[in-house]
Amino acid sequence: MKAHPTQPQTKTLVVLANSCKNNGRCLAGKALANDRFGAWIRPVSAHPTGALTLEHQAFNDSTTPALLDVVTVPVRRPAPLGFQSENHLIHSQYYWSRVGRLDAARLPELVDPVAPLWINGHSTVAGCNDRVPEDRLAELDHSLILIGPVTVWLHVAWEKLRARFVHQAVTYDLVVTDPDLKAAYAGRPDGVLEQQPNSFVCVSLAPPWNGYAYKLAAAILTP
């Protein structure tokens, strides 16, 4: 990282996801100021996909953010991209800072009062209500939602870890992109692996691919 004569603009947020994205990471969280939570923030890089590397996320001790860490991120400007209105372009020449950690007991304060999860009725072979047609995306203005508490059933289908849950009387079955969960269940055969009650799920709507934007379980958090 290079030293600069002036300090950059920063955003302080509670990390609610640090998921796999292509060969990098997609980190997202909610703003925190004076012990009050604000809007969603997704720091993105200048790469065409916006994905972050672990180097982008590094603190000055070379560690990287964990879920529920409170971090300060140097940013250049808001960088909304279609329905991904939460994006902020990072200032990659500065280290990030860990300034605290949120007690998991406060997760209910962060839940978004929304239903359903964007547009339903469109499913993959292995999923349920897990994608949105590209021609409907203009109707949307956000791409991050925290729900809970719900019971999550983790299972493997078609060699992918998935999370199945019911939210507002609607069933969802989404691919899990949390790197720690993916590593923990790597190589398992198809089938139900574990039930996780009282979970909070960070759901992210990814950029469109092959005609659809896919809903992803970017993180599963428990108090």
Q: What is the pLDDT of residues 99-155, one digit of tens each?
A: 999 999 999 999 999 889 999 999 999 999 999 999 999 999 999 999 999 999 999
With bands split at pLDDT 50, 70 and 90, how would you rate the model's confidence at 3? very low
Could you tell me which residues come within 8 angstroms of residue 186 by beta carbon, excluding any fewer than 6 positions away? none
Question: pLDDT at position 201, please?
Answer: 98
Mean pLDDT for the stretch of residues 215-223: 95
Cα–Cα distance between 66 and 170 in angstroms, integer?
Answer: 30
Could you tell me which residues come within 8 angstroms of residue 49 by beta carbon, excluding any fewer than 6 positions away? 21, 22, 24, 207
- Tell how far CA 72 is from the center of its chain: 17
Average pLDDT score, the chain: 93
3-state helix, strand, coil split of the chain in percent (to 5) is 10, 50, 40
Domain residue spans of the chain = 9-102, 108-221
With bands split at pLDDT 50, 70 and 90, how would you rate the model's confidence at 70? very high
Q: Comparing 43 with 3, which gets the higher pLDDT? A: 43
Cα–Cα distance between 111 and 95 in angstroms, integer?
Answer: 29
Q: Is the pLDDT of residue 5 over 70?
A: no
Question: pLDDT at position 115, please?
Answer: 81
Could you tell me which residues come within 8 angstroms of residue 11 by beta carbon, excluding any fewer than 6 positions away? 31, 41, 43, 72, 73, 75, 88
Q: Is the pLDDT of residue 183 over 60?
A: yes
Could you tell me which residues come within 8 angstroms of residue 140 by beta carbon, excluding any fewer than 6 positions away? 83, 118, 119, 132, 205
Domain 108-221 indexed as CATH 3.40.50.300: no
- Site of tokens 């992109």: 177
Question: pLDDT at position 28, please?
Answer: 98
